[in-house]
């Protein structure tokens, strides 16, 4: 029996000195994942983290890329970026990392996000999401042609995979066997969408990803794509012990560990060899079910287990509202 495990790492709060030990740990255990980056330093408060402008950090990113980790984009920076800045940022990304990213994930409240926030949801869930997250009152305009934040055309040309719905269990594909899929309502500026397991911080990560659930993933021959912020995982010079022992457990298990785009491309290839379409078009009813599950996951971690970033931020005062 085998299983697939990968992480999509949101770059929030990732500084060279706190993120390098985590990638060293992953590398030592053969767990190759996808790290997103910012081209520019954050321009909004209280976001923080290194960007490709820091030469030492850039060297680290190039080094992990050479080791087999995938690098993806998390908007060109934290804050609002205009089209010209984004296009320049993408060129700088290409020059520094040898090519454009295959994967992009939206960062929290950037106006230039593509189908950001509530826009990932259809009616009526989009209205509910807007109520749950008042910050989404600010509009997202990355896919609005007349906006100065528009870059949807370039996004469609460059980016193959975009992140959407999140679920509260380790076997991501059990919740969404159609990943990666086409969302006909969001196809003008996006290509393929993928789902992930919702683990925004180490509290949720350790709850959902541990020896017991990894054994379960293996029994199910499952695929786990975890969304998290590894930039949070080091405190006082120490990697979170739960995370550390889980990664070491994965290292001993010898599962299938590849970056997110490789995992998704393997799924596509398997479909093609089986004579199926590369990616299914998502029907509204299926999307509605995933939207409901996504919302229930958010509600569970916000109000029931209180492990999500709303609670987590109380631990670290400078930490912001729930971030993507």
Interface residue list for Zn ion (CB under 5 A) = 10, 12, 107, 323
Q: Which is nearer to Zn ion, 104 or 253 (CB)?
A: 104
Min dist CB 109 to Zn ion, Å, is 9
Q: What is the 3-state secondary structure (H, E, C) of the chain?
A: CCCEEEEEECCCCCCHHHHHHHHHHHHHCCCCCEEEECCCCCCCCCCCCCCCCCHHHHHHHHHHHHHCCEEEECCCCCCCCCHHHHHHHHHHHHHHHCCCCCEECCCCCCCCCCCCHHHHCCCCHHHHHHHHCHHHHCCCCCCCCCCCCCCHHHHHHHCCEEEEEEECCCCHHHHCCCCCEECHHHCCCCCEEEEEEECCCHHHHHHHCCHHHHHHHHHCCCEEEEEECHHHCEECCEECHHHHHHHHHHHHHCCEECCHHHHHHHHHHHHHHCCCCCCCECCHHHHHHHHHHHHHHHHHHHHHCCCCHHHHHHHCCCCCCCCC
Query: Shortest gap between Cβ of 120 and Zn ion (angstroms)?
Result: 15
**Which residue's CB is nearer to Zn ion, number 54 or number 216?**
54
d(CA 69, CA 180): 20
Shortest distance (Å) from residue 116 CB to Zn ion: 11
Minimum gap (Å) between residue 172 Cβ and Zn ion: 19
CB of 78: closest distance to Zn ion in angstroms? 7
Residue (35 or 107) nearer to Zn ion, CB: 107
| Residue 65 or 108 with smaller CB distance to Zn ion | 108
To Zn ion, the closest distance from the beta carbon of 322 in angstroms equals: 10
Q: Tell me whether residue 4 or residue 162 sits nearer to Zn ion (CB atom).
A: 162
CA 224-15-30 angle, to 5 degrees, is 40
Specify the residue, 12 or 102, whose C-beta has the smaller distance to Zn ion: 12
Q: How far is the CB of 74 from Zn ion (least distance, A)?
A: 6
Cβ proximity to Zn ion: between 3 and 312 the closer is 312
């Amino acid at each position: 029996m085998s299983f697939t495990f990968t992480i999509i790492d949101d770059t929030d709060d990732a500084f060279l000195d706190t993120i390098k030990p985590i990638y060293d740990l992953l590398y030592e255990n053969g767990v190759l994942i996808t790290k997103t980056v910012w081209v520019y330093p954050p321009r909004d408060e209280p976001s923080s983290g290194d960007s490709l402008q820091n030469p030492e950090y850039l060297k680290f990113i190039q080094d992990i890329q050479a080791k087999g980790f995938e690098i993806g984009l998390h908007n060109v920076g934290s804050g609002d970026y205009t089209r010209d800045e984004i296009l320049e940022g993408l060129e700088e990304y290409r020059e520094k990392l040898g090519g454009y990213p295959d994967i992009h994930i939206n960062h929290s409240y950037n106006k230039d996000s593509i189908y950001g926030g509530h826009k990932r949801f259809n009616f009526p869930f989009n209205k509910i999401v807007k109520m749950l997250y008042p910050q989404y009152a600010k509009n997202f305009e990355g896919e609005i042609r007349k906006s100065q934040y528009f870059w949807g055309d370039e996004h469609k040309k460059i980016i193959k995979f975009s992140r959407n719905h999140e679920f509260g269990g380790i076997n991501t594909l059990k919740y969404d066997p159609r990943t990666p899929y086409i969302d006909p309502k969001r196809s003008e500026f996006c290509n393929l969408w993928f789902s992930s397991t919702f683990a925004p911080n180490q509290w949720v990560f350790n709850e959902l990803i541990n020896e017991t659930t990894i054994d379960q993933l293996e029994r199910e021959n499952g695929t786990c794509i975890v969304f998290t912020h590894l930039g949070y995982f080091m405190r006082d010079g120490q990697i979170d012990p739960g995370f550390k022992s889980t990664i070491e457990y994965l290292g001993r298990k010898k599962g299938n560990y590849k970056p997110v785009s490789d995992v998704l491309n393997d799924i596509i290839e398997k479909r093609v060899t089986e004579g199926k379409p590369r990616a299914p078009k998502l029907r509204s009813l299926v999307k509605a079910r995933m939207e409901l599950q996504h919302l229930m996951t958010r509600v569970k971690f916000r109000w029931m287990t209180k492990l999500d970033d709303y609670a987590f931020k109380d631990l670290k005062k400078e930490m912001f509202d729930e971030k993507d």
